[in-house]
Chains A and B, each alone.
Chain A
Amino acid sequence: MTTIRFRINGNVVADEVPPRLSLADFLRERRNLTGTHLGCEHGVCGACTVLVDGEPARSCLMLAVACDDRTVETIEGFADDAVMAALRRNFHQHHALQCGFCTPAMLITACDLIRRGRAGSERNIREGLAGNICRCTGYTNIVTAIAEAGKEIASEVRHGQ
């Protein structure tokens, strides 16, 4: 067992973990943050994507012990995040989810795309989503929702809000 201490969604968390425990399992089983989903557990499906130190990462490909001293944000966070609020609204409006399994990670990936200015064209959005699989194949509406959220954020930035 190793003692770790890191920040999850703004709260400092300390725990004893076996080194083999993935960040994903730590979040789901120790913290009950079950919005982080596990699909393939080898980095292909993208369903477990969270932010680590502000950047998207696969929580199935990170050990919880390796997150000591880091900052993790899961879909349960983002409370005051304007980009995430715009994305949630547009996912709702454009029916950008069917079964919803891929949705939390789609939102986190989309949030990163918009923040990095990579949501300006359908091509960019589709490339940026290549690592997040939607098995309902609902990509068309997901891409539309992200494009619209990106436009909203860009116009808010232009109007200095």
Chain B
Amino acid sequence: MKAPAVDYVRPRSLTQAVGLLAHASVEARVMAGGQSLMAMMNLRLATPGLLIDIARLPELMSVTDDADAVTFGACVTHAAIEDDRVPDPSRGLMPRVAATLAYRAIRNRGTIGGSLALADPAAEWPAVLAALDAELTLLGPSGRRSLKCAEFATGIFETRLAADEIIETVRVAKLSATARWGYLKLCRKSGEFATALAIVVADPGRGCSRVVIGAANGAPMALVDTAELVAAGRRDPEALRSAVAADLDRAAERHFDDFQRNVHAAAAMRAVQQVLA
């Protein structure tokens, strides 16, 4: 189908974009790469009255690289990350993830901030950036605020982003030289949304270790027992398997069926094994 009638504006600055969003008299949607929003509009699942196109705002396309972190503008594309055209704080994890995300034609336009703001439960960045303990800056009419990525998504397509806020940056602390990561995406065809998604980041140098699964009937889910064993360097597969099972058991509200339980457990175990290998 075709997108419904809509008004369109391309603001010249982020401040102007926030102003337009705050004062719109119709339902306004911010469009970054538009790779999900346009599909949703074509399918008439989204019918905004006004599109605010932020994809070309220079302040959202910039990346700053300082001593301990890399700060990505929200409109940095997946392809820029895949190609290492921007600095990588994650010792290869982020470029690897970007390369598995949809298709190149989508990655050329789709953005890191757009993916976070949409909060598709099966999307890669919400889970990966939670595992990397990234921090977001959100800009609204009353100013800026920061939020941990792990606390940003609250459910399926639900986030803490207020209706008048725009994601400005994503700050990812640099992993230390001793860090290891594991990443496993299970899907039936390259580039599809994940059936299961597991990310493990173990960084003894910074004293942190995280295991996060995506595509998990809700916001990305931290496997805390599993992360503790990974931090302790436990390699015993039985112990790891029961930790994963305990973590999945605690999430009764996600109503995993048997297939989902198995596939999430398998993805988590394989990602953990990449770290311990």
Chain A residues close to B by CB (< 8 Å) = 2, 18-20, 22, 25, 41-43, 46, 49, 52, 55-58, 60-63, 65-66, 68, 109, 112, 126-128, 130-132
Contact = CB atoms under 8 A, between A and B. Distances in A.
A109 B106 CA distance: 12
A126 B189 CA distance: 11
Nearest to A112: B104
Interface of B: 1-8, 10, 31, 34-35, 38-39, 41-43, 51, 53, 55, 79, 102-106, 108-109, 189-191
B96 to A, nearest CB: 13
B106 A43 contact: yes
A131 B108 CA distance: 13
Given A2-B8, A41-B2, A43-B35, A55 B42 contact: no
A42 B43 contact: yes
A131 B42 contact: no
Given A41-B42, A55-B79, 4 more contacts: A22-B2, A58-B106, A61-B106, A65-B8
Nearest to B5: A20
Q: Is the interface of A mostly helix, strand, loop or mixed?
A: mixed
B2 A61 contact: no
B42 A56 contact: no
Contact of A130 (B1, B31, B191): B191
23 contacts: A2-B8, A20-B4, A20-B5, A22-B42, A42-B43, A43-B106, A46-B105, A49-B105, A56-B105, A57-B109, A58-B105, A58-B106, A61-B38, A65-B53, A66-B8, A66-B34, A66-B53, A126-B190, A127-B190, A130-B103, A130-B191, A131-B102, A131-B191
Contacts of A128: 104
Contacts, number: 89
A130 B43 contact: no
Given A56-B105, A62-B34, A63-B34, A42 B2 contact: no
Contact of A18 (B5, B31, B105): B5
B136 to A, nearest CB: 25
B49 to A, nearest CB: 11
B8 A130 contact: no
B261 to A, nearest CB: 28
B42 A60 contact: yes
Nearest to B189: A130
Given A55-B108, A56-B105, A58-B105, A42 B79 contact: no
A20 B190 contact: no
Nearest to A69: B56
A22 B10 CA distance: 16
Nearest to A48: B105
